[in-house]
Chain A
């Protein structure tokens, strides 16, 4: 954290620059799709949100593993600070997907394997947040949440491969697949820049939220010390 704090303003600057560039590419400097026409632009926020939903959960799972085995306090705090960010991105992925699905598929929502497993991920995030704050002793709450996070990790490969294992309405992967992406470079670039911007947003939010948790822990300690006399 000692290195992270002085970096934060520069990181924030980089994030804003990357976001502006990504928005420019995705809203102005990219072509309409041959099938979906302009609605392809929803993909530039939908897909990065969905990637972040999975990425943040994976980070939390690694942090939880480190927390449970080595009892590293910073790992527990990283997992706790990540959960609301992951929930926010999952929510964004669900809502933007719905807004794309209505005009293109003809429905806001279907219960196919991909959509359902992402909804489950959203609920796991919410459960993680609830469990963290459910105990009077914050250390016990974090431990319980870490176990939930590790158990819930089975859902991550299910989400990733759901479009291949089952007949889903949701289309298969376009970027991360064998044989190279089936997406034109003019559309791949805005997608990748937006994905980078979202990663940077996560990093900034994570630093701010971890700093908050560390301060909250010190406030708790000082308050407890005062109560003792």
Chain B
């Protein structure tokens, strides 16, 4: 396998610059996605609760 070779991970001596680049982009995008999805879930719960209360009143 290519992945097993250390030359892939060392990236010609630039590992310290290349891997952090990919890591930071990945973390920022994943972070934004997780944040957005979790906010959506909590809003959905809140909305369901409010609609239930409204129906009870009507």
Q: Report whether B36 and A42 are in contact in the complex, using a CB–CB cutoff of 8 Å.
A: no
Interface majority SS (helix, strand, loop, mixed), chain A: helix
Q: Report whether B50 and A219 are in contact in the complex, using a CB–CB cutoff of 8 Å.
A: yes
Q: Report whether A38 and B22 are in contact in the complex, using a CB–CB cutoff of 8 Å.
A: no
Given A45-B21, A100-B17, residue A32 in contact with residue B36 (CB < 8 A): no
**Chain A residues with CB under 8 A of B54:** 222, 225-226
Interface range for B: 20 to 34
A-B pair number, CB within 8 angstroms: 83
Given A219-B46, A223-B50, residue A39 in contact with residue B18 (CB < 8 A): yes
Interface range for A: 35 or more
Mark interface residues in B3-39 (1 if CB within 8 Å of A CB, else 0): 0000010011110011011101100110011001101
Q: Report whether A211 and B46 are in contact in the complex, using a CB–CB cutoff of 8 Å.
A: no
Interface majority SS (helix, strand, loop, mixed), chain B: helix
Q: Report whether A92 and B36 are in contact in the complex, using a CB–CB cutoff of 8 Å.
A: no
Which of B11, B36, B46, B53 has the most CB atoms of chain A within a 10 A radius of its CB? Answer: B36
Q: Which 3 A-B pairs have the closest CB atoms?
A: A38-B12, A222-B50, A215-B43
- Not counting A205-B36, A215-B44, a sample of 12 additional A-B residue pairs whose C-beta atoms are within 8 angstroms of each other reads A27-B22, A37-B14, A38-B11, A39-B14, A96-B21, A96-B25, A99-B18, A201-B29, A209-B36, A212-B36, A212-B40, A219-B47
10 contacts across the A-B interface (CB closer than 8 A) = A28-B2, A37-B12, A38-B13, A42-B18, A45-B22, A85-B32, A99-B17, A103-B17, A209-B36, A219-B50
Q: B residues within 8 Å of A by Cβ?
A: 2, 8, 11-14, 17-18, 20-22, 24-25, 28-29, 32-33, 36-37, 39-40, 43-44, 46-47, 50-51, 53-54
Q: A residues within 8 Å of B by Cβ?
A: 27-28, 32, 37-39, 41-42, 45-46, 49, 84-85, 88, 91-92, 95-96, 99-100, 102-103, 201, 204-205, 208-209, 211-212, 215-216, 218-219, 222-223, 225-226
